[in-house]
Amino acid sequence: MSTKRLHNFWTKWRWECLLVLLIVVVAFVNARASNYFLNSTNLLRMTSDFIEIGILILPMTFIIVTGNIDLSIASTLALSASLMGYLFMSGWNIWLAAGVALLVSICAGLLNGVLIARLKLPALVVTLGTLSFYRGLAYALLGDQAARGYPPEFTYLGQGTIGSTRIPFALLIFIVLALAFGLVLHKTRFGRYLYAIGNNKDASRYAGVPVDRILITIYVLSSVVAALAGFILAARFGSTRPDIGLGLELSVITITVLGGVSIFGGSGTLVGVVLALILVAILRFGMGLMNLQGQVQDIVIGMLLIVSILLPTLIERFRHTWHWQPRMLWQSLAALLVLVLFISFFFWSRSLILFR
Amino acid sequence: MVTETRAIDAPHRGLVQTFVRFREIGLIAFIVVLAFFVTLRNPVFLTFNNLRDIVLNISILVIVALAQAMVIITRGIDLSVGSTIGLSAMMVSFMIAAMPELSPWLMLPLGMLIGAILGSFNGTLIALGRVPPIIATLGTLSIYRGLIFLYSGTKSTINAYEMPPAFRQIAKGAPLGIPNLILFAVAVAVIVFLFLRYTRVGRDIYTVGSNPDAARFAGIPLQRTLFLVYLISGLLCGLAGVLWASRFESAQNNTALGFELQTVAAAVVGGVSTLGGSGRVIGVVLGAFLLGVINNALTLIQISPFWQQAAQGLLILLAVIVDATISGRLQRMIGGRS
């Protein structure tokens, strides 16, 4: 009985268990490699670098669970933050400016949602278009200027700590939001509808799931949350430039997929996604302590993403339908040779300039 | 045209062909109307020099958008094109800076080889590893971009003075009276056109995209075709990287950053369906041309360059909306597949 329960637990939470294991390993390695890792001040300060991404992955999980995608979140974030900054610079009250920016973000989400749900356009193409469009509007608003001079009650959103503790206020926002999103996804009918849509959109429609309305709702939700993340980011920097949050969508999608959400929809848990966030955060923090450049860190994150998808598939195939053919030996040898030659050329040609 | 009509009964062919032609006629009409209004505001637009500038500006985009189109036709996407271009440009610039005595024309095959290796890595992941294209190329987007930073190390830029003047001639020379850059784009367009239309692999690309299961039953080597498409995409990006370095006489860590979005935009505006199986070379070329015209027009009518990106995004949205509403109506009319 107990082994059966254990087995059920394992099949249901396999991915999350693996993530926890990885987190423990990375934390252990980091702690051994640097004395500055297990330091509560550092760790808490580090969290603020991942708050915005953390907030953005919550609605992204909803969207990917339905089998869709939203590439425009970082641009919506920039549009809202820029509009807020623009209005503030023209003399508006900061909260009023933020309110208007929030309304605009709702419109941005509506446009995405209506085009995808009602006109049945592919989410990838629609949000690719709005990625350019919203980011372009942000540039049109602020140009090469930066909005700055936000009042302290606003910058508290991104820089403040709770009471006399060192816990960032934004971390509290993230935790509250994560709990709310988790409860909605796993404990409500709305959440179950999301999985249903992701598994089979047409069948859900016939079963009476209001597919269009739900899709529009989650795209609006995504944009509103992006606006909120934009405010926090602007508050943290103390200024807004139109390139704020550029390229953030890729990190967000990477973490969501790493968290076990299938890109085809229908599966994944919010627990897994939050664990993936923690994993990426401490991995990057550790690499930062080792003085690795941000873009070089991207290599590791990119590999992690690919391996996390590749490995389960390969294991499945090894188990079931694997016929060894001599052809494969030659192919793998050729691939290995190409790889080795490429790596040698990479380092050799690099040394020609760097160490002459 | 054969491809788009394949799934539809013979009697309706005339109509569908009209639509497929309409797609490109619509694009041309849009360009002409746009050109008309821009010329009213600023007559410089229709001068020979300006038109040549537009074509020069989109030449690299055409090459990579065609690669992207082939990938999208197979229902995939290649998000790593910008990083592949950047890495190829950086490695080639290092080589030419280290060995200026080498013939710069050697850099073309070198860049293409680098691109092909990077592309075949994508292809292996997708065809053999069954990783969804968007995930695999999202990963390699980061990996290849990171490799550029790792490669260039403390030297984040190769500048014009470090490159031999002959290297510049690859893109800028005009021995035939037309700049080489344009000739490259035309040559690639013609080759891709012939490849997609007349070779077996080219036809397989469409079949795999319109129905992967049917393609497998028909004995088409699905995996090999996918692998080849990503390899070709990488190869063309490698070529584009050499041209990029030669044209701008420099290679930086952020060369071609974000270029993938423009290539997808050109392909989609040019009528390549993201559902796979359809798309034509002439459409992609026109799509890239339209993007070029819009960027040029915004400058000429003195709209702030900061509006360019917004206009580009709006254009993509308009293109897909028009496409969806028209093709939807058409399909209801002929009662074809829905």
Q: State ipTM.
A: 0.87
Distance CA B12, CA B31 (A): 29
What integer pLDDT is reported at residue B175 of this predicted model? Answer: 84
Residue A305 lies in a domain: yes
Percent of chain A topping pLDDT 90: 65
Distance CA A215, CA A118 (A): 9
Quote the minimal CA–CA distance from A339 to chain B in Å.
Answer: 8
Domains identified in chain A, total number: 1
Question: Tokens 């020379």 — which residue?
Answer: B173
Measuring CA to CA, which residue among B87, B236, B115 is closest to residue A350?
Answer: B87
| Helix, strand or coil, per DSSP, at residue A51 | helix
End-to-end CA distance of chain A: 69
Distance CA B69, CA B78 (A): 9
Question: Tokens 């070089």 — which residue?
Answer: A296
Rounded to the nearest 10 degrees, how much is the dihedral formed by the CA atoms of A229, A235, A237, A239? 110
Output the CATH code of domain B2-7+17-330: 1.10.3470
Phi, then psi, of B99 in degrees rounded to 5: -130, 75
Q: Is the pLDDT of residue A316 over 60?
A: yes
Distance CA B186, CA B63 (A): 9
**Neighbouring residues of A291: CB distance < 8 A, sequence distance ≥ 6:** none
> What is the arithmetic mean of pLDDT over A252-265?
92
Q: Is the pLDDT of residue A215 over 70?
A: yes
Q: Which residues pair with A147 in a beta bridge?
A: A240
What integer pLDDT is reported at residue A185 of this predicted model? Answer: 96
Test A254 with B324 for CB contact under 8 angstroms.
no
Considering only residues A314 and A103, tell me which one the structure prediction assigns the higher pLDDT.
Answer: A103
Sign of CA dihedral A279, A281, A284, A290: negative
At B273, which helix (H) or strand (E)?
A: none
What integer pLDDT is reported at residue B112 of this predicted model? Answer: 97
Residue type, B187: A
* Token reading at B290: 């339209």
> Which of the residues A132, A139, A325, A351 would you substitute to probe the B interface, choosing the one with the greatest number of B C-beta atoms within 10 Å?
A132
Q: How confident is the model at residue A39 (pLDDT cuts 50, 70, 90)?
A: confident
Distance CA A13, CA A9 (A): 6
Q: Is the pLDDT of residue A293 over 90?
A: no
Quote the minimal CA–CA distance from B80 to chain A in Å.
Answer: 11
Residue type, B233: S
pLDDT beneath 50: ranges in chain B: 1-10, 336-338
Nearest CB to A350 within list B120, B140, B153:
B153
Q: Which residues pair with A161 in a beta bridge?
A: A168
**What is the DSSP secondary structure assignment for residue B164, as one 8-state letter?**
-
Q: Is the pLDDT of residue A104 over 90?
A: yes
Measuring CA to CA, which residue among A239, A270, A231 is closest to residue A57?
Answer: A270
Q: pTM for this one? A: 0.89
Residue A322 lies in a domain: no
Test B97 with A353 for CB contact under 8 angstroms.
yes
> Do A75 and A138 form a contact (C-beta atoms < 8 A)?
yes
What integer pLDDT is reported at residue A57 of this predicted model? Answer: 96
Test A136 with B275 for CB contact under 8 angstroms.
no
Residue A74 lies in a domain: yes
User: What are the DSSP calls for A182-232, one per residue?
Assistant: HHHHHHSHHHHHHHHHHH-HHHHHHTT--HHHHHHHHHHHHHHHHHHHHHH
| Helix, strand or coil, per DSSP, at residue B252 | strand
What integer pLDDT is reported at residue A37 of this predicted model? Answer: 82
Locate the chain B residue with the closest alpha carbon to A120. B324
What integer pLDDT is reported at residue A356 of this predicted model? Answer: 72
* CATH assignment at residue A264: 1.10.3470
* Token reading at B45: 């637009």
What residue spans of chain B are helical by DSSP H?
A: 2-5, 13-41, 48-73, 81-98, 107-123, 133-152, 165-172, 180-198, 200-210, 212-217, 222-248, 259-269, 281-300, 308-334
Residue A135 lies in a domain: yes
Sign of CA dihedral B202, B206, B209, B215: negative
**Neighbouring residues of A192: CB distance < 8 A, sequence distance ≥ 6:** none
What integer pLDDT is reported at residue A321 of this predicted model? Answer: 65
What integer pLDDT is reported at residue B299 of this predicted model? Answer: 84
**Neighbouring residues of A24: CB distance < 8 A, sequence distance ≥ 6:** none
Distance CA A280, CA A300 (A): 10
* Token reading at A101: 């920016």
Test B153 with A335 for CB contact under 8 angstroms.
no
**Neighbouring residues of A67: CB distance < 8 A, sequence distance ≥ 6:** A197, A198, A201, A264, A265, A266
What integer pLDDT is reported at residue A6 of this predicted model? Answer: 82
Distance CA B229, CA A193 (A): 37
What residues make up the domain containing A216? 12-317
Distance CA A186, CA A207 (A): 20
What integer pLDDT is reported at residue B20 of this predicted model? Answer: 58
| Helix, strand or coil, per DSSP, at residue A222 | helix
Nearest CB to A295 within list B91, B136, B145:
B145
Domain boundaries, chain B: 2-7+17-330
Considering only residues A161 and A180, tell me which one the structure prediction assigns the higher pLDDT.
Answer: A180
Test B317 with A133 for CB contact under 8 angstroms.
yes
**Neighbouring residues of A287: CB distance < 8 A, sequence distance ≥ 6:** A296, A297, A300
Considering only residues B10 and A274, tell me which one the structure prediction assigns the higher pLDDT.
Answer: A274
pLDDT digit string, tens, across residues A328-352? 788 889 999 999 999 999 999 999 8
Quote the minimal CA–CA distance from A18 to chain B in Å.
Answer: 19
pLDDT digit string, tens, across residues A41-65? 888 888 888 999 999 999 999 999 9
What integer pLDDT is reported at residue B336 of this predicted model? Answer: 47
